[in-house]
Amino acid sequence: MSSGTVDKANTADREIVTTRVFDAPRELVWEAWTNPKHVANWWGPRGFTTTIEQMDVRPGGVWKHTMHGPDGTDYPNKSIFKEVVKPERIVYSHAGGKKGGTGVSFEMTWTFEALGEKTRVTLRHVFATAADRDRVAKEFGAVEGAKQTLDRLGEHLLKVAATNSGDFVMTRIFDAPRELVWKAWTEPKHMAQWWGPRIFTNPICKMDVRPGGTYRIVMRGPDGSEYPASGAYREVVKPEMLVMTINHSELPDEWHDAVNPQRDRSKGKPTLEVVNTITFVELDGKTRLTIRLSFESATVRDLFVKIGMNEGWSSSFDKLDELVAKMKSMDETGKKAI
């Protein structure tokens, strides 16, 4: 055991331990933890932001940061790194807490275990006493906070991996059970209500949700222009995952010109097929939905982003959020689902 490290064998009654396996290589997970530019994007429970004043990841190095709660409360923190064994382990002593409130102190150990191209991460908070652990768990929601922090790390890793690979990733948590969110994605009467930006409608929405089945959705803009999308379902794992292709080749010439300003119209419209993987994760009555759009290259993805893909999906998710809220309300009141 290294000098200054708490003996873990005798601390079971005063620990909080959280483990998660990430679909990312250990080197990437280590970089996301030790580079302050990454850490600021995911550190803390949902709704929190973090300002990093200093982060010197080496034995004896100091990490000073302030977490900002959704209600505006600040939580100043200072940590001293005790061990940094790249890319396996980080140990630091931590002191902090609510500004003007009772302080919190513990020793934290993060371990990073390579599992092929995946990584198992384990957080171990060790407190001075069991009473300290119980107080922090109750007053600060430390157990749930650790889970949400790892959730945010996972989402950040997806985005980083997507940026490197040519994928586009977006995640949203919906305040509705997974079964309802799944229905909203797989039943035409629901899909037609939320697919596409807010000012668009879907007069045609046909779906055969099964492996090998096809779908066709025609979006109509406020000026009457139509934007067809079609494709096929490659995988359907109810209620966990959908893998579907999206073929944009039918879209108007103006749209193709925007995606590829250098294209030769005389050669016809190119086949623009994107693979969309949607995962649905149950979170105590809520649902974390993640879409991963896989493009043929980062260049093509960036062109889609340039013409508004991010805004389009954000608007669609806003509409989906409103729809599942209505579906949930009707289920709770015993009314017939919309």
- 1 CB neighbour count, 10 Å cutoff: 8
Backbone dihedral angles phi then psi of residue 278, each to the nearest 5 degrees: -115, 125
Q: 324 near 173, Cβ under 8 Å?
A: no
Beta strands in 34-73 (DSSP E): 49-55, 62-68
Maximum separation of any 2 CA atoms in the chain, in Å: 75
Q: Which residues contact 142 (CB under 8 A, 6 or more apart)?
A: 16, 125, 136
The predicted model gives 290-314 an average pLDDT of 85
Q: Which two tokens stand for residue 293?
A: 């759009």
Question: How far is 338 from 336, CA to CA, in rounded Å?
Answer: 6
- The ranges of the chain annotated as CATH 3.30.530.20 are 8-164, 166-333
Q: 242 near 185, Cβ under 8 Å?
A: yes
Q: Which CATH number fits domain 166-333: 3.30.565.10, 3.20.20.70, 3.30.530.20, 1.10.10.10?
A: 3.30.530.20
Q: Percent of the chain at pLDDT above 70?
A: 89
What is the CATH number that goes with domain 8-164?
Answer: 3.30.530.20
Could you report the per-residue pLDDT of 21-42, keeping only the tens digit for each?
998 889 999 999 999 999 999 9
Could you report the per-residue pLDDT of 56-65, keeping only the tens digit for each?
999 999 999 9
pTM of the model: 0.57
Comparing 51 with 164, which gets the higher pLDDT? 51
The amino acid at 66: T
Nearest-5° Cα angle at 21, 20 to 23: 140
Cα end-to-end span (Å), the chain: 61
pLDDT of residue 338: 47
Could you report the per-residue pLDDT of 172-184, keeping only the tens digit for each?
999 999 999 999 9
Burial 192-225 (b: 16+ CB within 10 A, else e): bbbbbbeebebeebebebeeeebbebbbbeeeee
